[in-house]
Structure 1
Protein backbone atom coordinates (compact mmCIF):
# COMPACT_ATOMS: atom_id res chain seq x y z
CA UNK A 1 0.00 0.00 0.00
CA UNK A 2 2.83 2.40 0.92
CA UNK A 3 4.50 1.64 -2.40
CA UNK A 4 1.27 2.42 -4.30
CA UNK A 5 0.82 5.75 -2.50
CA UNK A 6 4.48 6.60 -3.01
CA UNK A 7 4.26 5.76 -6.71
CA UNK A 8 1.07 7.83 -7.09
CA UNK A 9 2.66 10.76 -5.27
CA UNK A 10 5.75 10.53 -7.48
CA UNK A 11 3.61 10.46 -10.60
CA UNK A 12 1.60 13.48 -9.44
CA UNK A 13 4.81 15.36 -8.61
CA UNK A 14 6.23 14.60 -12.08
CA UNK A 15 3.00 15.68 -13.82
CA UNK A 16 2.96 18.94 -11.83
CA UNK A 17 6.60 19.70 -12.64
CA UNK A 18 6.13 19.03 -16.35
CA UNK A 19 2.94 21.11 -16.41
CA UNK A 20 4.65 24.04 -14.72
CA UNK A 21 7.59 23.83 -17.11
CA UNK A 22 5.34 23.75 -20.18
CA UNK A 23 3.13 26.58 -18.89
CA UNK A 24 6.18 28.67 -18.01
CA UNK A 25 7.61 28.25 -21.50
CA UNK A 26 4.28 29.14 -23.09
CA UNK A 27 3.97 32.25 -20.96
CA UNK A 28 7.55 33.29 -21.71
CA UNK A 29 6.97 32.97 -25.45
CA UNK A 30 3.89 35.21 -25.38
CA UNK A 31 1.67 35.56 -28.41
CA UNK A 32 0.50 38.13 -30.91
CA UNK A 33 -2.46 39.05 -28.71
CA UNK A 34 -0.30 40.10 -25.75
CA UNK A 35 -1.51 43.50 -24.60
CA UNK A 36 0.61 46.33 -23.30
CA UNK A 37 0.10 46.47 -19.52
CA UNK A 38 -1.22 49.66 -17.99
CA UNK A 39 0.70 51.41 -15.22
CA UNK A 40 -0.15 53.87 -12.45
CA UNK A 41 -0.72 57.49 -13.44
CA UNK A 42 2.58 59.23 -14.27
CA UNK A 43 4.23 56.00 -15.43
CA UNK A 44 4.40 54.18 -18.76
CA UNK A 45 5.29 50.64 -19.85
CA UNK A 46 8.88 50.18 -21.05
CA UNK A 47 8.97 47.16 -23.37
CA UNK A 48 12.73 46.74 -22.94
CA UNK A 49 12.74 46.90 -19.14
CA UNK A 50 9.41 45.01 -19.00
CA UNK A 51 8.26 47.31 -16.22
CA UNK A 52 6.51 50.57 -15.48
CA UNK A 53 8.84 53.58 -15.51
CA UNK A 54 8.42 57.32 -15.13
CA UNK A 55 6.85 58.93 -18.18
CA UNK A 56 9.69 61.45 -18.05
CA UNK A 57 12.28 58.73 -18.74
CA UNK A 58 13.78 58.19 -22.17
CA UNK A 59 11.08 55.91 -23.54
CA UNK A 60 10.97 55.47 -27.29
CA UNK A 61 8.14 56.98 -29.31
CA UNK A 62 6.81 53.52 -30.24
CA UNK A 63 6.68 52.52 -26.55
CA UNK A 64 4.91 55.75 -25.64
CA UNK A 65 2.44 55.42 -28.53
CA UNK A 66 1.59 51.80 -27.72
CA UNK A 67 1.22 52.66 -24.07
CA UNK A 68 -1.09 55.58 -24.89
CA UNK A 69 -3.25 53.21 -26.94
CA UNK A 70 -3.34 50.71 -24.06
CA UNK A 71 -4.50 53.51 -21.75
CA UNK A 72 -7.18 54.55 -24.24
CA UNK A 73 -8.42 50.97 -24.56
CA UNK A 74 -8.57 50.90 -20.73
CA UNK A 75 -10.81 54.01 -20.93
CA UNK A 76 -8.11 56.27 -19.49
CA UNK A 77 -8.45 58.73 -22.36
CA UNK A 78 -7.06 61.87 -20.72
CA UNK A 79 -3.98 59.96 -19.57
CA UNK A 80 -3.54 58.57 -23.08
CA UNK A 81 -3.51 62.10 -24.49
CA UNK A 82 -0.97 63.17 -21.85
CA UNK A 83 1.34 60.32 -22.87
CA UNK A 84 0.93 61.21 -26.55
CA UNK A 85 2.04 64.76 -25.68
CA UNK A 86 5.44 63.27 -24.70
CA UNK A 87 6.19 62.00 -28.21
CA UNK A 88 9.22 63.48 -29.91
CA UNK A 89 7.47 62.97 -33.26
CA UNK A 90 3.71 63.20 -32.71
CA UNK A 91 2.95 63.38 -36.42
CA UNK A 92 2.99 59.69 -37.29
CA UNK A 93 -0.05 57.85 -38.59
CA UNK A 94 -0.12 55.63 -35.52
CA UNK A 95 0.20 58.49 -33.00
CA UNK A 96 -2.45 60.55 -34.79
CA UNK A 97 -4.77 57.55 -34.90
CA UNK A 98 -4.38 56.95 -31.17
CA UNK A 99 -4.91 60.66 -30.47
CA UNK A 100 -8.04 60.58 -32.63
CA UNK A 101 -9.31 57.50 -30.80
CA UNK A 102 -8.85 58.99 -27.32
CA UNK A 103 -10.29 62.33 -28.41
CA UNK A 104 -13.34 60.70 -30.02
CA UNK A 105 -13.95 58.57 -26.93
CA UNK A 106 -13.94 61.77 -24.86
CA UNK A 107 -16.90 62.92 -26.99
CA UNK A 108 -14.95 65.28 -29.24
CA UNK A 109 -15.82 63.41 -32.44
CA UNK A 110 -15.12 66.22 -34.91
CA UNK A 111 -11.67 66.83 -33.41
CA UNK A 112 -10.98 63.08 -33.54
CA UNK A 113 -11.93 63.00 -37.22
CA UNK A 114 -9.33 65.70 -37.87
CA UNK A 115 -6.60 63.49 -36.38
CA UNK A 116 -7.85 60.46 -38.31
CA UNK A 117 -7.79 62.36 -41.61
CA UNK A 118 -4.20 63.48 -40.97
CA UNK A 119 -3.26 59.85 -40.24
CA UNK A 120 -4.92 58.67 -43.47
CA UNK A 121 -2.97 61.32 -45.39
CA UNK A 122 0.27 59.95 -43.92
CA UNK A 123 -0.59 56.27 -44.44
CA UNK A 124 -3.59 55.55 -46.68
CA UNK A 125 -3.04 51.78 -46.18
CA UNK A 126 -3.46 51.92 -42.38
CA UNK A 127 -6.71 49.97 -42.00
CA UNK A 128 -7.17 50.58 -38.26
CA UNK A 129 -7.36 54.36 -38.71
CA UNK A 130 -9.92 53.84 -41.47
CA UNK A 131 -12.02 51.70 -39.13
CA UNK A 132 -11.95 54.35 -36.42
CA UNK A 133 -12.64 57.13 -38.93
CA UNK A 134 -15.62 55.15 -40.20
CA UNK A 135 -16.88 54.66 -36.64
CA UNK A 136 -16.63 58.41 -36.06
CA UNK A 137 -18.70 59.00 -39.19
CA UNK A 138 -21.28 56.49 -37.88
CA UNK A 139 -21.49 58.52 -34.65
CA UNK A 140 -22.21 61.60 -36.75
CA UNK A 141 -24.82 59.76 -38.82
CA UNK A 142 -22.67 60.08 -41.96
CA UNK A 143 -23.15 56.51 -43.15
CA UNK A 144 -22.13 57.43 -46.70
CA UNK A 145 -18.66 58.41 -45.47
CA UNK A 146 -18.49 55.38 -43.16
CA UNK A 147 -19.32 53.18 -46.14
CA UNK A 148 -16.44 54.77 -48.11
CA UNK A 149 -14.04 53.81 -45.32
CA UNK A 150 -15.48 50.29 -45.28
CA UNK A 151 -14.82 49.96 -49.02
CA UNK A 152 -11.25 51.21 -48.53
CA UNK A 153 -10.70 48.65 -45.76
CA UNK A 154 -12.06 45.89 -48.00
CA UNK A 155 -9.49 46.86 -50.62
CA UNK A 156 -6.71 46.75 -48.02
CA UNK A 157 -7.42 43.56 -46.12
CA UNK A 158 -10.64 42.03 -47.43
CA UNK A 159 -13.92 41.30 -45.69
CA UNK A 160 -12.37 38.88 -43.22
CA UNK A 161 -10.12 41.29 -41.35
CA UNK A 162 -11.10 42.59 -37.93
CA UNK A 163 -11.25 46.22 -39.08
CA UNK A 164 -13.76 45.36 -41.81
CA UNK A 165 -15.90 43.24 -39.49
CA UNK A 166 -15.93 45.89 -36.75
CA UNK A 167 -16.85 48.81 -39.01
CA UNK A 168 -19.38 46.73 -40.93
CA UNK A 169 -21.02 45.80 -37.62
CA UNK A 170 -21.10 49.43 -36.48
CA UNK A 171 -22.78 50.47 -39.74
CA UNK A 172 -25.34 47.63 -39.55
CA UNK A 173 -26.07 48.42 -35.90
CA UNK A 174 -26.65 52.12 -36.65
CA UNK A 175 -29.03 51.29 -39.51
CA UNK A 176 -31.22 49.31 -37.08
CA UNK A 177 -31.63 52.28 -34.73
Structure 2
Protein backbone atom coordinates (compact mmCIF):
# COMPACT_ATOMS: atom_id res chain seq x y z
CA UNK A 1 0.00 0.00 0.00
CA UNK A 2 1.55 3.28 -1.01
CA UNK A 3 1.69 6.35 1.20
CA UNK A 4 -1.21 8.14 -0.57
CA UNK A 5 -3.47 5.11 -0.21
CA UNK A 6 -2.66 4.82 3.50
CA UNK A 7 -3.53 8.49 3.99
CA UNK A 8 -6.73 8.59 1.95
CA UNK A 9 -8.27 5.22 2.91
CA UNK A 10 -9.39 6.22 6.44
CA UNK A 11 -10.91 9.44 5.07
CA UNK A 12 -12.70 7.60 2.26
CA UNK A 13 -14.08 5.01 4.66
CA UNK A 14 -15.31 7.69 7.06
CA UNK A 15 -16.89 9.63 4.20
CA UNK A 16 -18.63 6.53 2.83
CA UNK A 17 -20.02 5.59 6.22
CA UNK A 18 -21.19 9.12 6.99
CA UNK A 19 -22.88 9.74 3.67
CA UNK A 20 -24.29 6.25 3.35
CA UNK A 21 -26.06 6.41 6.68
CA UNK A 22 -27.19 9.97 6.12
CA UNK A 23 -28.63 9.24 2.70
CA UNK A 24 -30.23 5.99 3.75
CA UNK A 25 -32.05 7.43 6.75
CA UNK A 26 -34.58 9.54 4.83
CA UNK A 27 -37.48 10.94 6.80
CA UNK A 28 -37.74 7.95 9.09
CA UNK A 29 -35.36 6.95 11.83
CA UNK A 30 -33.57 3.66 11.45
CA UNK A 31 -35.52 1.39 13.78
CA UNK A 32 -33.78 -0.86 16.28
CA UNK A 33 -36.84 -3.10 16.37
CA UNK A 34 -39.29 -4.39 13.75
CA UNK A 35 -41.81 -1.85 12.52
CA UNK A 36 -45.31 -2.00 13.91
CA UNK A 37 -47.62 -3.45 11.21
CA UNK A 38 -50.00 -0.52 11.78
CA UNK A 39 -47.14 1.89 11.02
CA UNK A 40 -46.27 0.04 7.82
CA UNK A 41 -49.91 -0.02 6.73
CA UNK A 42 -50.35 3.67 7.60
CA UNK A 43 -47.29 4.62 5.52
CA UNK A 44 -48.78 2.81 2.54
CA UNK A 45 -52.09 4.57 3.04
CA UNK A 46 -50.29 7.93 3.16
CA UNK A 47 -48.46 7.04 -0.06
CA UNK A 48 -51.89 6.35 -1.57
CA UNK A 49 -53.29 9.68 -0.32
CA UNK A 50 -55.55 8.05 2.28
CA UNK A 51 -54.60 10.40 5.13
CA UNK A 52 -57.81 10.07 7.13
CA UNK A 53 -57.48 6.28 7.15
CA UNK A 54 -53.83 6.42 8.23
CA UNK A 55 -54.51 8.58 11.30
CA UNK A 56 -56.23 5.93 13.49
CA UNK A 57 -53.48 3.43 12.70
CA UNK A 58 -50.78 5.93 13.64
CA UNK A 59 -52.67 6.84 16.81
CA UNK A 60 -52.55 3.15 17.77
CA UNK A 61 -48.81 3.13 17.12
CA UNK A 62 -48.11 6.13 19.38
CA UNK A 63 -50.47 4.78 22.03
CA UNK A 64 -48.29 1.68 22.32
CA UNK A 65 -44.95 3.41 21.60
CA UNK A 66 -44.87 6.95 22.96
CA UNK A 67 -41.24 7.31 21.80
CA UNK A 68 -41.98 6.78 18.09
CA UNK A 69 -40.96 10.10 16.51
CA UNK A 70 -41.61 8.72 13.02
CA UNK A 71 -45.24 7.94 13.84
CA UNK A 72 -45.75 11.39 15.39
CA UNK A 73 -44.23 12.91 12.25
CA UNK A 74 -46.61 10.99 9.99
CA UNK A 75 -49.54 11.96 12.22
CA UNK A 76 -48.52 15.56 11.70
CA UNK A 77 -48.17 15.07 7.96
CA UNK A 78 -51.54 13.34 7.60
CA UNK A 79 -53.31 16.01 9.62
CA UNK A 80 -51.61 18.79 7.66
CA UNK A 81 -52.80 17.24 4.41
CA UNK A 82 -56.33 17.33 5.84
CA UNK A 83 -55.87 21.01 6.85
CA UNK A 84 -55.95 20.14 10.57
CA UNK A 85 -53.05 22.51 11.14
CA UNK A 86 -53.29 22.84 14.93
CA UNK A 87 -53.31 19.06 15.34
CA UNK A 88 -50.45 18.72 12.84
CA UNK A 89 -48.41 21.28 14.76
CA UNK A 90 -48.79 19.37 18.03
CA UNK A 91 -47.69 16.11 16.41
CA UNK A 92 -44.63 17.68 14.76
CA UNK A 93 -43.70 19.22 18.11
CA UNK A 94 -44.05 15.80 19.76
CA UNK A 95 -41.78 14.24 17.12
CA UNK A 96 -39.17 16.95 17.56
CA UNK A 97 -39.30 16.71 21.34
CA UNK A 98 -38.31 13.06 20.95
CA UNK A 99 -35.82 13.62 18.14
CA UNK A 100 -34.91 17.30 17.59
CA UNK A 101 -33.03 16.64 14.34
CA UNK A 102 -35.75 14.46 12.78
CA UNK A 103 -35.41 15.45 9.16
CA UNK A 104 -38.96 14.72 8.06
CA UNK A 105 -40.55 16.51 11.01
CA UNK A 106 -38.33 19.55 10.53
CA UNK A 107 -39.14 19.75 6.82
CA UNK A 108 -42.87 19.27 7.28
CA UNK A 109 -43.07 21.66 10.22
CA UNK A 110 -41.27 24.27 8.11
CA UNK A 111 -43.82 23.73 5.35
CA UNK A 112 -46.63 24.09 7.87
CA UNK A 113 -45.15 27.37 9.06
CA UNK A 114 -45.19 28.60 5.47
CA UNK A 115 -48.87 27.65 5.23
CA UNK A 116 -49.45 29.65 8.39
CA UNK A 117 -47.49 32.61 6.98
CA UNK A 118 -44.58 32.36 9.42
CA UNK A 119 -41.48 32.61 7.23
CA UNK A 120 -39.11 33.18 10.15
CA UNK A 121 -40.07 29.90 11.83
CA UNK A 122 -39.83 28.04 8.52
CA UNK A 123 -36.31 29.38 8.10
CA UNK A 124 -35.47 28.20 11.64
CA UNK A 125 -36.45 24.66 10.58
CA UNK A 126 -34.24 25.05 7.49
CA UNK A 127 -31.32 26.00 9.76
CA UNK A 128 -31.92 22.87 11.86
CA UNK A 129 -31.94 20.75 8.70
CA UNK A 130 -28.74 22.40 7.52
CA UNK A 131 -27.08 21.14 10.70
CA UNK A 132 -28.78 17.74 10.62
CA UNK A 133 -27.91 16.95 7.01
CA UNK A 134 -24.14 16.45 6.94
CA UNK A 135 -23.78 16.52 3.14
CA UNK A 136 -27.25 17.82 2.32
CA UNK A 137 -30.45 15.86 2.15
CA UNK A 138 -33.76 15.77 0.33
CA UNK A 139 -35.63 17.30 3.27
CA UNK A 140 -33.32 20.33 3.30
CA UNK A 141 -33.66 20.80 -0.45
CA UNK A 142 -37.46 20.45 -0.36
CA UNK A 143 -37.87 23.02 2.42
CA UNK A 144 -35.37 25.39 0.82
CA UNK A 145 -37.34 25.22 -2.45
CA UNK A 146 -40.64 25.74 -0.61
CA UNK A 147 -39.23 28.82 1.13
CA UNK A 148 -37.94 30.19 -2.17
CA UNK A 149 -41.36 29.67 -3.78
CA UNK A 150 -43.05 31.33 -0.78
CA UNK A 151 -40.74 34.34 -1.06
CA UNK A 152 -41.27 34.58 -4.83
CA UNK A 153 -45.04 34.49 -4.36
CA UNK A 154 -44.91 37.09 -1.59
CA UNK A 155 -42.78 39.35 -3.80
CA UNK A 156 -45.20 39.26 -6.72
The answer to whether the Cα contact below 8 Å between 1:65 and 1:94 also exists between their aligned partners in 2 is no
Larger RCO: 1 or 2 (CA < 8 Å, sep 6+): 2
1:93 aligns with 2:69: yes
Change (3 A) 1:83 1:164: same
Matched, 1:153 2:150: no
Partner of 2:144: 168
* Aligned residue among 63, 79, 90 for 1:114: 90
Q: Is the Cα–Cα contact under 8 Å of residues 59 and 75 in structure 2 kept in the other structure? A: no
- Which structure would you say has the larger Rg? 1
Runs of 4+ in 1 over 4 A off after TM superposition: none
Which consecutive residues of structure 2, in runs of 5 or more, have no partner in the other structure? 1-23, 25-33
Which whole-Å CA distance do the structure 2 matches of 1:152 and 1:165 have between them? 13
Higher strand share: 1
Map of 2:42 onto structure 1: 68
Q: Following the alignment from structure 1 to structure 2, what is the Cα–Cα distance between the partners of residues 68 and 119?
A: 17
- TM-score between both structures, scaled by the size of structure 2: 0.70
Normalized per residue, the structure richer in helix is 2
CA distance in 2, matches of 1:90, 1:120: 13
> Quick one: distance in 2 between partners of 1:167 and 1:111?
21
**CA distance, structure 1, for counterparts of residue 82 and residue 115 of structure 2:** 13
- Say whether the 8 Å CA contact 1:94–1:119 is kept in structure 2: yes
Aligned to 2:117: 141
Gaps of 5+ in 1: 1-31, 33-59
